[in-house]
Structure 1
Amino acid sequence: MKGIVVKCLEEGSTLELRDVKAPILKEGDLLIEVVSVGVNRTDIMTRERQAGYADGANETSEDIVELGVEVAGVVVQVAGDSAGISVGEHVMGLVDGGGYAEYVVMPANRAMLLPEGISLKEAAAIPEVFLTAYQTLFWHGKLQEGETVLIHAGASGVGTAAIQLAKQLVGARVIVTAGSQEKLDACLALGADVAINYKETDFSQAVLEATDNRGVDVILDFVGASYWQKNLKSIAESGRWVLIGALGGSVISQVQLFDLMKKFVTLTGTLLTPRSATYKAKLTSEFQARVKPYLDNGSIYPIIDRTFALADAESAQTYMTENRNIGKILLTNFSK
């Protein structure tokens, strides 16, 4: 089969479509013929790690596809307990890497049947970002009805998912940050109540103005170090601050812990890709039960910026690192 591997170069790495070994199923696995795969920042981090492990320039990493953690496709084989999923069914879900390929293994307990009206080419825009947004908002942020949430990178894949989940599931008031008017407009169209251009405005001051100086109950923070002080100003007493990225750095030279303590802030962090198989299965199950009806009736839907052919994975990742996208970037195989 064909798949994308990391080719190491003197100046870094590139992605190359090659013949690779087909995946091996274990008990409880499904073999998926991939139709579309989501591009995520975790893929870029995995690529950088692979390149860092290479033993020299101009060597190609071992021909195993590691990139790609969410796919949509057709079940072509099952091994043992398939959790009610049959050969021929169209599914989407999280995989343990390897999605940048023609075939990939997916644990059956993470497979989700496609929502009504969503095609296989669109469905890969759902699993990673919506599950990340769901666990962040409700498992870690404990967002409740009537509360206010600040979502940074509001036009990103996770951001566009989080806006919809916060509005539709608990009717929260949503404040977002983004870096262009086009992105702000997209966030407002999805239901955001307040949209702040962080390049032009001190977002912490704008948040306080929008909340009568109270601050927000929950922060979804993709940025990290460079937003530390402004987030601290933006959060309300007893607020929940959830770190899910470090685009603005991961090291803060000095932190006054009493600033957190005197506001009774809960600071926590989470990632999805490194989580256990049990965690991912439980999250998938709860997400399906609570959110699939909204996906079925179209009140929640994936936002897709653009699609690239699998062979153009390098261009897709470059597009992501340039922060040009509103919503998801997908790689597609056009056989289905």
Structure 2
Amino acid sequence: VRATAHQGLALVQRWLADERFAAARLALLTRDAVRTGPADRPVDPAQAALWGLVRSARAEHPGRFVLIDAAGTGEPADALSGALATGEPELALRNGLLLPRLVRGGRADGTLSLPDGDAWRLTTDGRGSPEDITAEPAPEAHAPLGKGEVRIAVRAAGLNFHDVIAALGLDPDPGQQGLGSEGAGTVIEVGPGVDDLAPGDRVMGIFGGAFGPTAVADRRTVARIPAGWSFARAASVPVVFLTAYYGLFDLGGLRRGESVLVHAAAGGVGMAAVQLARHAGARVFATASPAKWDVLRDGGLDDAHLASTRTTDFAERFLTATGGRGVDVVLDSLAREFVDAGLRLLPNGGRFVEMGKTDVRDPETVARQYPGVRYRAFDLMEAGPERIGEMLADVLDLFGQGVLRPLPVTGWDVRQAPAALRSLSQARGVGKNVLLLPAAPDPEGTVLVTGATGTLGRLLARHLVVAHGTRHLLLAGRRGGSADGMPELVRELTGLGASVTVAACDVADRAALAALLGSVPAAHPLTAVVHAAGVLDDATIAGLTPDRLDRVLRPKADAALALHELTRDLDLAALVLFSSGAAQFGAAGQA
């Protein structure tokens, strides 16, 4: 963030100081600086900081700057001339030109309304659209536990292609599984025979009903979350890595020295399969959209082992690359002519392992048409709970050894499930999509407010107690209890029934912040953080220096990153970050 802000400041100052450009506009092209909707990638904080800086510069120098944001690795060149021709000061390139406009606040189109309580889950009537998904009561989530069962408070749930199939009404057995088959969360209760888990343990695994706040799992199909993993990361692992593991090794029999074709290798299962196959010593060929090939190159594949999923040319390409030998195993997820092309890559026989659901072939017919080819379509759940547990343990051991790397994760609020499923169905991203489920603050937990000795911090502390019923507050500020108004605030909040601790802490000092977080009593664990710390150092763009930028960024951006990293393993209900309206709307003298 600092480096980008420094470079942006230097560029803007040089532009404004050069009289040759006095009548010209400077267009700055960024990537992922703004989020235009739920399908966008996460915002890049460094690029977003540049937008805030330039907005204030534009307020001081109207008509001199244009901000254009492109999505991810997309190539915006063709759209730039049209964007500049609009005369608009800000644009986003997202399958067309998007312009920022203020609208009345409220629930965004396509988001779901969730019922009260913790016994519901997302379901679909199978009419053929993700927009038909609804949240319905799930009383079975509170049913008495049977032997070997575990009740879990779900915090994140992985999205899989099966969920897309079910939402589109294409599931051949809609009553068997439903939506949501993997997740991560904390143990609420254990049933008879479960003596190695206890309430509060963080777990991940395969279980139904994961698209809801409470689910019941078979103990055999869940495992403890590794230290340092967020719930989102944990929820992104089970189905993709176990599907790849089961398909490659249990069914495909892949061995060291053999070759394998992995289709859709930039998706979740594909990326997992590439890692597992390479670790096993196999030669890996892969297909993906050409725009995603950089992801596969980062995974160790060269261009000779890459082809497009858009055409069937991959068959001839890889036959040529192997001198006509083809491959030993095909891990397939495509359909129609792409399946036929994949089968042609087994001219000497081999194993064709089908993960897809929309074009399942008859094994005997395939064997007659392609001698020596063993065709096997499968679903992970057929492995059974014992084998699922064994594979999950093996995969987590490989992560622990550093052999496997987590996939890129895109998180969606569970209320955005229709948009998330639509994005997955259109293969817009790479890696894994995960639904995030909100958790209510623990009424016995502690809420940390940073910058609490300032005016905003004191207002927030009072609001938390009066409006939200917070009973345990940790108020942090550089001046601690000696700040103006703090003794009076503590007396007021104590009188309202809250327990208040005031601490002197520079939250941008990572060691001091870690010590502060470590002081939170176990009886009242941290349940939420409100980051309101900040420093004002107003200046016009011409008078701004890198040191002045750093002075403002330190308590806001540096401290936010430290808070994120130091609390990522905690089960926080909320991490709220306050920013400046000047960064959103632009304000002269406040760059």
TM-score normalised by the chain length of structure 1: 0.84
Q: RMSD between aligned alpha carbons? A: 2.8
Compare CA radii of gyration and give the structure with the larger one.
2
Task: Specify the SS of the correspondent of 1:216.
Answer: coil
Distance 1:83 1:265, change over 3 A: farther
Name which of structure 1's ranges 317-326 and 224-233 shifts more when overlaid on structure 2.
224-233
Deviation at 1:265, TM superposition (A): 1.6
Mapping of residues 12-161 of structure 1, within 5 Å: 14-21=132-139, 23=141, 24=143, 25-49=145-169, 66-82=178-194, 84-95=196-207, 97-161=208-272
Distance 1:10 1:89, change over 3 A: closer
Q: Which residue pairs with 2:286 in the alignment?
A: 176
Name which of structure 1's ranges 206-215 and 112-121 shifts more when overlaid on structure 2.
112-121
Q: Which amino acid aligns with 2:161?
A: R
In 2: Cα distance, 1:53 partner to 1:300 partner: 33
Q: Which residue pairs with 1:330 in the alignment?
A: 434
The gaps in structure 1 that reach 5 residues or longer are 55-60
Q: Which amino acid aligns with 2:203?
A: V
Is the CA contact 1:208–1:215 (under 8 Å) kept in the aligned structure 2?
yes
In 2: Cα distance, 1:292 partner to 1:241 partner: 27
Q: Which residue pairs with 1:271 in the alignment?
A: 379
Is the CA contact 1:17–1:311 (under 8 Å) kept in the aligned structure 2?
no
Q: Which residue pairs with 2:342 in the alignment?
A: 231
Deviation at 1:173, TM superposition (A): 0.9
Q: Which amino acid aligns with 2:403?
A: S
Q: Could you list the per-position Cα deviations for residues 268-305 of structure 1 after superposition, in whole angstroms to 9, with x for gaps in the alignment?
A: 111114x26xx2322321441x3322212433123134
Distance 1:298 1:146, change over 3 A: same
Q: Which residue pairs with 1:280 in the alignment?
A: 385
In 2: Cα distance, 1:66 partner to 1:28 partner: 22
- 1:185 pairs with one of 272, 289, 294: 294
Is the CA contact 1:225–1:246 (under 8 Å) kept in the aligned structure 2?
no
In 2: Cα distance, 1:83 partner to 1:320 partner: 38
Deviation at 1:197, TM superposition (A): 1.4
Q: Which amino acid aligns with 2:379?
A: L
Q: Which residue pairs with 1:321 in the alignment?
A: 425
Q: More strand by proportion, 1 or 2? A: 1
Deviation at 1:112, TM superposition (A): 1.1
Is the CA contact 2:184–2:205 (under 8 Å) kept in the aligned structure 1?
yes
Task: Specify the SS of the correspondent of 1:204.
Answer: helix
Q: More helix by proportion, 1 or 2? A: 2
Distance 1:246 1:31, change over 3 A: closer
Whose RCO is larger (CA < 8 A, sep 6+)? Answer: 1
Is the CA contact 1:149–1:172 (under 8 Å) kept in the aligned structure 2?
yes
The gaps in structure 2 that reach 5 residues or longer are 1-117, 440-570, 572-591
Task: Specify the SS of the correspondent of 1:299.
Answer: coil
Task: Specify the SS of the correspondent of 1:145.
Answer: coil
In 2: Cα distance, 1:162 partner to 1:176 partner: 10
Q: Which amino acid aligns with 1:310?
A: V
- 2:317 pairs with one of 203, 206, 217: 206
Identity of paired residues, percent? Answer: 29
Deviation at 1:80, TM superposition (A): 0.7
Q: Which residue pairs with 1:302 in the alignment?
A: 406
Task: Specify the SS of the correspondent of 1:235.
Answer: coil
Is the CA contact 1:83–1:109 (under 8 Å) kept in the aligned structure 2?
no
In 1: Cα distance, 2:203 partner to 2:166 partner: 25
In 2: Cα distance, 1:317 partner to 1:175 partner: 28
Name which of structure 1's ranges 118-127 and 136-145 shifts more when overlaid on structure 2.
118-127
Distance 1:18 1:200, change over 3 A: closer
Is the CA contact 2:128–2:167 (under 8 Å) kept in the aligned structure 1?
no
TM-score normalised by the chain length of structure 2: 0.49
Deviation at 1:47, TM superposition (A): 3.4
Is the CA contact 1:68–1:99 (under 8 Å) kept in the aligned structure 2?
yes
Q: Could you list the per-position Cα deviations for residues 63-90 of structure 1 after superposition, in whole angstroms to 9, with x for gaps in the alignment?
A: xx94100000101100111262222111
